[in-house]
Structure 1
Amino acid sequence: MIILNLQCTKAHPFEGWFDSVEDFDRQANAAMVACPLCGDTQVSRLPSGPRVKSATNVVAEPGRQAMTHMMKALSEMAKNSEDVAERFPEEARRMHYGEAESRNIRGRATLKETRELLEEGIAVLPLPFPAKEEIH
């Protein structure tokens, strides 16, 4: 697994985790890599410093701990939110415009739907939620 520094055409920097540089190239060419801030699928690699493997595994442990904390946080967010599935864009709009009670929701939206929500001023945050049956 490699971590690449990426940037969209709107100059939003972000990281991406890939099996290899070739895997990134394949996904980027298929418009499968999107900026988490704006959804732009035209992304490029930024220069990054080389990773030097040390004799100890000191760096790897905090990374594992951070991943564990992130997965626990995602699980808690999933438990404390209503899964509206494909109705996510509709429900987010209804809440934003005062047509539905404000609450924590999660669900699925296409890249196009996510862009439209953001353009309307509706704050959404794409997250890598696993399928419901995978949440422990």
Structure 2
Amino acid sequence: MRLTAFTDLSLRIVMRLAVAEGEKLTTRDVAGMVAVPYTHAAKAVARLSEMGLVEARRGRGGGLRLTETGRRASVGHIVRTLEGSGDVVGCEDSPPCPLRAGCQLRRALHQAQEAFFASLDPVTVESLVASPTGPLLSALRPPTAEATS
């Protein structure tokens, strides 16, 4: 199974925030750190905030913070929520697959998708940022003004 770019980005943002330890990071900072456009990061942060994983505060003293719920969150839960429960294949696309009424493949693929998610259930965000990943994440810095010119 392949995750969407949105889910991948969201997981990278959560991981970077998990090692922030007092850093005041903005969405723009995090976007630079994980090398994605600001608008993509902003959409991911908004969704992660809706899910209660990230707290985003505006203004002077604001910034992003991973909530305690976010730190303990199951990666399986995060991926399930972001990916949705849609079919792995487009059985109902236009035109719909002529085999959809009696196809065994659709059910088998759904079971495989659920097994994929279930394998991620015991993995927490906190466990993802253990060494050696945590120090690598902590070393990520937003690009400097000279680097972006």
Query: Shorter-chain TM-score: what band?
Result: under 0.3
Which TM-score applies when normalising by structure 1?
A: 0.25
Higher helix share: 2
